[in-house]
Structure 1
Amino acid sequence: MDRFTIKFRRLLLAWLHRSRSGPVSFLRRFSYKEIKRATDSFHRIFYTNSRGAAYKARFQDGEVALVREVQTLNVKKDAFYREVQLLGRLHHRHLLALRGFSTGRKRLLVFDNIENGSLKEHLNDPLKTPLNWKTRLQIATGVAAALEYLLLFSNPPIYHVSISSSSIMLDENFTAKVSDVGILSSVGNYVTVPNTSCSEDRMNQHCSSIIFQLGMLILELITGQSSEEGGEDLIEWIQESCLSSSVDRMIDPDLGNNYDSRELKKLLAVARLCIKTKDNPTFSIPQISRYLQKKVDVPRQQFLCPQVSFI
């Protein structure tokens, strides 16, 4: 065996060892100081929840990214690396891709480009250009597609996902990206639900919670009202026996009259089904996703008003 072959063999074995030993083989390891500088000492906060905070980061090369803190209790380093490996292997057009991580003073995940910030900013900041109707429809459809991927096609399935306008990021083309996805629970264990699925014939409490969040997000896209601050009012409105008399005053003023009324009614029908799912899970993520992509019909018994069909 010549020296070139021996050297190549050593390099190959070293690469194989790295790829099996941790996430550093395919993800970048950021230094704590680098992330601290990019987030202005962790002052550029996008959102916070029980698992930690998410920050806007602008690195020296000009790229804007999202940095999410992993703040679960009793998380061992091996468990954190496992989460990094699994999240790093998720690939979907409507998921924010993981670029790297840091294990310094904080355990941090660094996600892909978020040039246009969060959905919440564009719905509530008067200085931002209002989102048009087509973009809002695409956001709803994209988020549903991402959820279908996480629940049905990811291995293992991802049940720990938070859907809100704060955690939905928009890239340079205003493509929606789900950012708050995790494997670990709040006590540092893996979130697993044995023998359950979010398919049409098998529903569970994890899926119903996610579907409910999707319904609230759709309501926020329609009304422009924050589901995080005034969610009770939105729920009460969508549960009215007939919505036809109040739709005009509830729709986001930023839309004006620039929307398709038929599409609006269909989207309201989906939102209502999602909200009802919280207590009686009978409608699945695949059904919602396919309906939003105009592949199936909402059942006739789910019409929003006895006299006026919204479908």
Structure 2
Amino acid sequence: MLELAVATENFSAENLLGEGGFGYVYKGVLPNERKIAVKRLKLGSRQGEREFQAELETISRVHHRHLVSMIGYCIAGTERLLVYEFVENSTLEYHLHGKDSPVMDWGTRMRIAIGSAKGLAYLHEDCNPTIIHRDIKSANILLNSKFEAKVADFGLAKFFTDTNHDITHVTTRVVGTFGYLAPEYASSGRASHKSDVFSYGVILLELITGRKPLSKDFSSTDFLVPWAKPLLRLAMENNKFNTLVDPRLGNNCNYDEIAIMASCAAACVRNSEQLRPRMSQILRTLEGDVSPMELFSDGTRPGYSSFHDVFDILHLGSGQTGNTSDPQTRLLRRSGTNYHRRL
């Protein structure tokens, strides 16, 4: 604890990098001049204690170029601290939506999309047991000095072993961030690897459009996904993506790559979790190894799904319609009256 206090200049406000739901993150420098990021959990938080244990257990198992690395941890009385490598260029959220941040060029956005996909594919398909992140969002995509993506913040992660792969509810309480939550998860707490895929699809939409996933008003047009879906359908039918692309990019973008990323986004944010691709499929598509149309191999046209997709979301096998006060659930209920509806 003393070493970390010295490294962060006694957790000074000048070294504060950010604040999350359960703690604060400080920049620090070790005696060997190695830069670190120290997450100090808020005292007296039972949820913070659970997050600390989950993150420690998860990140100590995983090692990948596109995941933030843990250096160590500290337990001292009621203090709980996690120590990570310092990632120089803040978050994707800052570079896309920060007031003072310069416009991120398209090549960098594409590289971040691929790097993030590699990190998630590793968690979902290469770890044993595999891991559901449950809080994929642009604020949890950190960028190093070369603007390479590193997935961070495993405080809400859950293991998904071979012995419990049929479990449909990994939690009884919905956690995560509005605007990124998959519909089946937002309405019932049913989390899976495919709910991570949905959240990743929202990040792709952020990269393409430059828009935030959710504004403060919670109206139907303020959610990025329902706003983007009809535009995605038209763009993919007409091969014209002008209405989707971040206007700040101007003509400085690669429309072939935008078409690929838009197809990936449309597949990721499908209402039916069964129809969403795996992260490895998304990665191969972004890298150009497979055709984007293979993401829709079920035969459903991009931009459409059947009424049964919506029915499954609203009932989720238990006869429940979810929390009707939740804005995402209300949007789904209003849109579920059409036999054929846009994705």
TM-score norm. by structure 1 comes to 0.71
- Give, in whole Å, the separation in 2 of the partners of 1:42 and 1:127: 19
Secondary structure in structure 1 of the residue aligned to 2:20: strand
Residues 250-304 of structure 1, C-alpha deviations (whole Å, 9 max, x = no match): 3223322111111111111110111105544442122112211222223364664
- Give, in whole Å, the separation in 2 of the partners of 1:285 and 1:40: 39
Residues 242/128 of structure 1: CA separation in 2 closer, same or farther (3 Å cut)? same
Q: 1:234 aligns with which of 224, 229, 238?
A: 224
Q: 1:100 aligns with which of 47, 51, 72?
A: 72
* 8 A Cα contact 2:58 2:154, kept in partner: no
Would you say 1:194 and 2:163 are equivalent positions? yes
User: Which AA in structure 2 matches 1:40?
Assistant: S
Greater RCO, 1 or 2 (C-alpha within 8 Å, sep 6+): 1
Residues 209/43 of structure 1: CA separation in 2 closer, same or farther (3 Å cut)? farther
Residues 228-262 of structure 1, C-alpha deviations (whole Å, 9 max, x = no match): 53795321233214235984243223322111111
Secondary structure in structure 1 of the residue aligned to 2:74: strand
Q: 1:257 aligns with which of 251, 268, 272?
A: 251
Would you say 1:157 and 2:126 are equivalent positions? no
- Give, in whole Å, the separation in 1 of the partners of 2:2 and 2:275: 42
Residues 272/217 of structure 1: CA separation in 2 closer, same or farther (3 Å cut)? same
Residues 183/217 of structure 1: CA separation in 2 closer, same or farther (3 Å cut)? closer
What's the offset of the Cα at 1:59? Answer: 2.7
Residues 164-220 of structure 1, C-alpha deviations (whole Å, 9 max, x = no match): 1111111111110101124766xxxx77673429xxxxxx84112100110000111
Q: How many residues align?
A: 264
Residues 277/152 of structure 1: CA separation in 2 closer, same or farther (3 Å cut)? farther
* 8 A Cα contact 2:87 2:145, kept in partner: yes
Match of 1:90 in 2: 62
Q: 1:145 aligns with which of 100, 118, 128?
A: 118
TM-score norm. by structure 2 comes to 0.65
Match of 2:287 in 1: 293
Residues 211/218 of structure 1: CA separation in 2 closer, same or farther (3 Å cut)? same
* 8 A Cα contact 1:167 1:179, kept in partner: yes
Q: Which has the larger radius of gyration?
A: 1
User: Which AA in structure 1 matches 2:201?
Assistant: G
* 8 A Cα contact 1:159 1:192, kept in partner: no
